[in-house]
């Protein structure tokens, strides 16, 4: 056994429990150095989000606090990941680097480059971010799936990896004597002056708490409640509806095995309550959506920039900066759209149903290219993730994998009546409409005296629908010629 240290390079796996690469590093019985690198490529990106950077920092602090209990710390470095890693290996004389694989085009390029630059020092990569890595869920003729339902069917059939339990031997961490370990930077160190939202509780204990709460109760009603728009899950002590785990899954503060394992235990606990068991299955299917989009981006990396169905790149979208701004600010005059956008701006999260409604509104009712919405989401969402976000936007805009057909254009009033029947979601996020009845709140412009301070609708739904249909039909016709 060598005395040289090994490095565990944390990326989007910010937890100590059930961490495949970290366990492998600790198993070498060599001193393990925990490293995180802030790469300026993310700070320069059009996707940069002050919210998500603040969320990352808070989770790094929690990780660091846990590492301190083991007599070590999280070593932070800043700069080009590959160059910094190479330099750090040289400085510490580490003889191996451990990390969990990420599958985005950027991450795979970065890791290939890192392995080359490290030369004889191996970079050991592990599958950990997903239950089934890209390349392992394929059709009978070994092709990647481009439709969700058959993907999910195959994904469900595969044996699932178990949660890796057992305590961590803290003696295996490096004491960092002789290694510079500066404090975790603050948001201001990244030159951002943006106001940041109040964050949910960070760290893997908080993630576990939320998972436990969800799988003890709300998961059993998930099938019936998941589309109901709930005012603010992050302040509600016992939220019903969805799990609100996406910000934790995004950074790997929670592993997909932990999520899946807890769901399976819940299903067992449901006994012969068929509705509860089906509800758990419905939730598990959401974990399959998460992996589906990661696989899609891995196998079809062009979706990063253009539609999965290239025909949709031909749509003549409108350039309407004022309307885009009103959509962003939650001032379209359609209460459900405005409530959802104000929720995003206020808490960095939005309900899935609301994401679909505002997505349809932007790309179909306003006929604005999905990229504008996709980027805006990335700049605000705590869970902003290129694969899921691009997948969701292309799906709703019509050009995605098994996309919502172009002719399905959500009527924002009907969606609102259906998924916020009492108007509580709207009332919570739009104080101007607080006094309206459940009947009037979805279309306040129809009142004889609409509330002052709230705008009339930005566009007439019927007109917008016809406009979108003719834009989409034009490309369909051209393609058929
Ligand atoms: C336009 C649009 C953009 C989206 N952008 C993102 C994004 O940037 N990041 C993101 O994580 N999700 C995104 N989603 C998917 C979905 O809205 C969120 O994952 C979900 O709302 C998170 O809330 P939750 O944790 O309570 O979900 P739950 O309903 O409790 O689901 C559990 C987990 O399954 C995964 N999941 C659920 N639905 C989806 C889905 N449709 N696609 C991929 N994963 C899913 C998430 O990891 C989620 O945390 C987007 C959806 C749309 C329509």
Homologous superfamily of 6-127: HUPs (3.40.50.620)
For the domain covering 310-474, report its CATH number: 1.10.579.10
Residue nearest to atom 19 of ligand 1 (CA): 246
Beta strands 97-100 and 6-10 are parallel
Q: Which residue from 245, 255, 286 has its CB within 8 A of the most atoms of ligand 1, so it is best to mutate?
A: 286
In angstroms, what is the span from residue 71 Cα to ligand 1's centroid?
37
Q: Which secondary-structure segment (H or E) carries 7? A: strand 6-10
pLDDT at 23 over 80: yes
At residue 94 the predicted structure's pLDDT band, cuts being 50, 70 and 90, is very high
Per-residue pLDDT at 35: 98
pTM of the model: 0.97
Mean pLDDT, rounded, of the chain: 95
Q: Based on the number of CB atoms within 10 Å of its own CB, is 206 exposed (0-12), middle (13-18) or buried (19 or more)? A: middle
Per-residue pLDDT at 403: 66
Residues of the chain with CATH 1.25.40.80: 130-164+204-299
Per residue in 100-159, pLDDT (tens digit) is 999 999 999 999 999 999 999 999 999 999 999 999 999 999 999 999 999 999 999 999
- Say yes or no: CB of residue 286 within 6 Å of ligand 1: yes
Atom of ligand 1 nearest to the CA of 359: 1
Q: Which residue from 246, 281, 401 has its CB within 8 A of the most atoms of ligand 1, so it is best to mutate?
A: 246
Per residue in 31-83, pLDDT (tens digit) is 999 999 999 999 889 999 999 999 999 999 999 999 999 999 999 999 999 99
Q: Which secondary-structure segment (H or E) carries 36? A: strand 32-38
Tell me the mean pLDDT in the region 199-224: 96
Structure tokens at 384: 């902003």
For the domain covering 130-164+204-299, report its CATH number: 1.25.40.80
Q: Is 28 helix (H, G, I), strand (E, B) or coil?
A: coil
In angstroms, what is the span from residue 286 Cα to ligand 1's centroid?
8
Residues in CB range of 113: below 8 A, 6 or more apart? 82
In angstroms, what is the span from residue 213 Cα to ligand 1's centroid?
19
Q: Based on the number of CB atoms within 10 Å of its own CB, is 389 exposed (0-12), middle (13-18) or buried (19 or more)? A: buried
Report which of 259, 34, 211, 18 is spatially closest to residue 126, judged by C-alpha positions. 18
Q: Based on the number of CB atoms within 10 Å of its own CB, is 121 exposed (0-12), middle (13-18) or buried (19 or more)? A: buried
Are 475 and 315 in contact by the 8 Å Cβ rule? The answer is: yes
Residues of the chain with CATH 3.40.50.620: 6-127
Residues of the chain with CATH 1.10.579.10: 310-474
- Say yes or no: CB of residue 289 within 6 Å of ligand 1: yes
pLDDT at 236 over 80: no
């Amino acid at each position: 056994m060598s005395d040289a240290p090994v490095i565990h390079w944390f990326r989007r796996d910010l937890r100590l429990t059930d961490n495949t690469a970290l366990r492998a590093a600790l198993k070498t019985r060599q001193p393990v150095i925990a490293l995180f690198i802030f790469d300026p490529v993310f700070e320069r990106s059009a996707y940069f989000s002050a919210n998500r950077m603040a969320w990352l920092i808070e989770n790094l602090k929690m990780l660091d606090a846990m590492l301190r209990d083991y007599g070590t710390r999280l070593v932070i470095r800043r700069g080009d990941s590959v160059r910094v890693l190479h330099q750090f290996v040289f400085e510490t004389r580490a003889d191996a680097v451990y990390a969990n694989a990420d599958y985005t085009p950027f991450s795979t390029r970065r890791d290939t480059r890192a392995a080359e630059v490290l030369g004889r020092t191996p970079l050991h990569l592990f599958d950990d971010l997903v239950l089934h890595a890209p390349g392992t869920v394929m059709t009978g003729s070994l092709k990647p799936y481009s439709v969700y339902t058959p993907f999910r069917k195959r994904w469900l059939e595969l044996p699932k990896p178990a949660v890796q339990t057992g305590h961590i031997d803290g003696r295996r961490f490096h004491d960092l004597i002789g290694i510079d370990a500066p404090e975790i930077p603050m948001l201001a160190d990244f030159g951002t002056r943006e106001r940041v939202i109040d964050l949910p509780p960070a760290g893997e204990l908080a993630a576990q708490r939320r998972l436990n709460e969800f799988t003890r109760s709300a998961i059993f009603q998930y099938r019936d409640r998941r589309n109901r728009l709930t005012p603010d899950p992050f302040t509600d002590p016992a939220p019903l509806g969805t799990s609100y785990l996406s910000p934790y899954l995004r950074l790997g503060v929670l592993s997909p095995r932990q999520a899946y394992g807890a769901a399976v235990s819940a299903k067992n606990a449901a006994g012969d309550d068929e509705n509860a068991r089906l509800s758990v299955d419905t939730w598990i299917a959401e974990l399959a959506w998460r992996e589906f989009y990661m696989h899609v981006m891995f196998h079809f990396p062009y979706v990063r920039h253009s539609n999965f169905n290239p025909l949709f790149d031909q749509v003549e979208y409108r350039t309407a900066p004022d309307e885009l701004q009103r959509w962003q600010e939650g001032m379209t005059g359609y209460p459900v759209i405005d409530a959802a956008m104000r929720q995003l701006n206020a808490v960095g999260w939005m309900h899935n149903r609301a994401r679909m409604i505002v997505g349809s509104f932007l790309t179909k009712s306003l006929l604005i290219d999905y990229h504008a919405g996709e980027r805006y989401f990335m700049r605000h969402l705590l869970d902003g993730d290129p694969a899921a976000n691009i997948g969701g936007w292309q799906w709703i805009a019509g050009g995605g994998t098994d996309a919502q057909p172009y002719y399905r254009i959500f009527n924002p009033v009907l969606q609102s009546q259906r998924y916020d029947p009492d108007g509580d979601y709207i009332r919570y996020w739009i104080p101007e409409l607080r006094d309206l009845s459940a009947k009037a709140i979805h279309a306040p412009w129809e009142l004889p005296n609409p509330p002052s301070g709230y705008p009339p609708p930005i566009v007439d739904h019927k007109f917008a629908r016809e406009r979108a249909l003719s834009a989409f039909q034009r490309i369909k016709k051209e393609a058929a010629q």
